[in-house]
Amino acid sequence: MEKRIIELDQIYKTNSSETAKLNLVKDYTDKILEQAGEGNIILLTGPAPIWLYLKAAHALHGKAKKLLYSAPGQGIEDFIIFDHDPD
């Protein structure tokens, strides 16, 4: 089990778009799951719409051992979204 950081703005920003698009949500969640792997501690961070954070959390439920959120500019670091680690 390792800690992996997923910067959500890096998931949706491309050369052609700086804005997350709802019609691309499956592509985004596929990238998130690929970066997360299975059974790891995942930290979500980065500027992104709330719907993308919610989709990411939903997709990671059952895949991540622990899900954290961090927004250092707002004074939020390693806020626990869920923790399924029995230890």
The domain locations on the chain are 3-83
Per-residue pLDDT of the chain (87 residues), as tens digits, is 899 999 999 999 876 678 899 999 999 999 999 999 999 999 999 999 999 999 999 999 999 999 999 987 788 888 999 998 777
Measured CA to CA, the distance from residue 24 to residue 71 in angstroms comes to: 24
Query: In whole angstroms, how far apart are CA 84 and each of 3, 29, 53, 87?
Result: 14, 20, 19, 9
Question: How far does CA 17 lie from the centroid of its chain?
Answer: 19
Amino acid at 54: L
pTM value is 0.88
Contact assessment for residue 70 and residue 31, using Cβ atoms and an 8 Å cutoff: no
Residue-wise pLDDT tens digits, 7-19: 999 999 876 678 8
| Helix or strand holding residue 54 (H, E) | helix 50-60
